[in-house]
Amino acid sequence: MSQPDYVIDEMISAKTIAARIEDLAREIRETFANTEKLVVVGLLRGSFVFIADLVRELDMPVEVDFIEASSYGDSMESSREVRILKDLRGEIGGRDVLLVEDIVDTGFTLHHVIELLKTRHPKRLETIALLDKPSRREIDVKATWTGFEIPDEFVVGYGIDYAQRNRNLPHIGKVRFLENPG
């Protein structure tokens, strides 16, 4: 098995993430206090760890569903073409919906999925992103709640991958590529 050509420097600790999720969950509970049941829609695959931790902090009736969209593949750069790879199983018409994203970068994926979900007429649609890179934004879109604003760094961990690796790290780490000696 070959060694990766990069190292990962911790950027946001697991403890810091957990504390922030508690705060975000409190705000979400207040916002959706009168809902019969909140439909939490996770954008796969990078958001699955965030969703698991977030819904455990939501002391309210929740339903979890997933949608998978891609604009990256195995690349570090967005293709700007968003494809839906897996759609929701349930109906969201007339329901309170919280769309969960791992990271908002160019904004193409989040914008596309928000517009798609709006066509299904939810009663209310709010968004939350664990990470936000506003310096990379190409489309004017902003999540209702954001865990952390980060600089333009390539990050992995806590569900976020690079070519399907490093999702299992308990923290967010910055990828630092190694120089290839001659």
Residue 41's CATH number: 3.40.50.2020
Q: Is residue 25, in this structure, part of any structural domain at all?
A: yes
Torsion over CA of 13, 22, 70 and 159, rounded to 10 degrees? 40
User: In this predicted structure, what is the pLDDT of residue 163?
Assistant: 85
pLDDT in tens, 73-93: 444 555 567 888 999 999 999
Are 125 and 116 contacting, i.e. CB atoms less than 8 angstroms apart?
no
pLDDT at residue 38 above 60?
Answer: yes
Residue 36: give the domain boundaries.
13-152
Q: Is residue 91, in this structure, part of any structural domain at all?
A: yes
Q: Is residue 82, in this structure, part of any structural domain at all?
A: yes
- Say whether 105 is catalytic: yes
Q: Is residue 175, in this structure, part of any structural domain at all?
A: no
d(CA 99, CA 42): 6
Residue in 23, 105, 132, 161 annotated catalytic: 105
Q: Is residue 134, in this structure, part of any structural domain at all?
A: yes
Are 62 and 118 contacting, i.e. CB atoms less than 8 angstroms apart?
no
* Alpha-carbon dihedral sign for residues 24, 67, 82, 171: positive
Torsion over CA of 35, 25, 9 and 48, rounded to 10 degrees? -30
Q: Is residue 26, in this structure, part of any structural domain at all?
A: yes
pLDDT in tens, 49-70: 999 999 999 999 999 999 998 7
Closest CA to 159 of 133, 134, 130: 130
Q: Is residue 117, in this structure, part of any structural domain at all?
A: yes
Q: What is the mean pLDDT of the chain?
A: 92
Domains: count for the chain: 1
The mean per-residue pLDDT over the stretch 26-55 comes to 96
The phi, psi pair for 58, rounded to 5°, reads -90, 100
Confidence bin at 157 (pLDDT 50/70/90): very high
User: In this predicted structure, what is the pLDDT of residue 182?
Assistant: 47
Q: Is residue 24, in this structure, part of any structural domain at all?
A: yes
Q: What is this structure's pTM?
A: 0.91
Distances (CA, A) of 82 to 72, 85, 112: 9, 9, 7
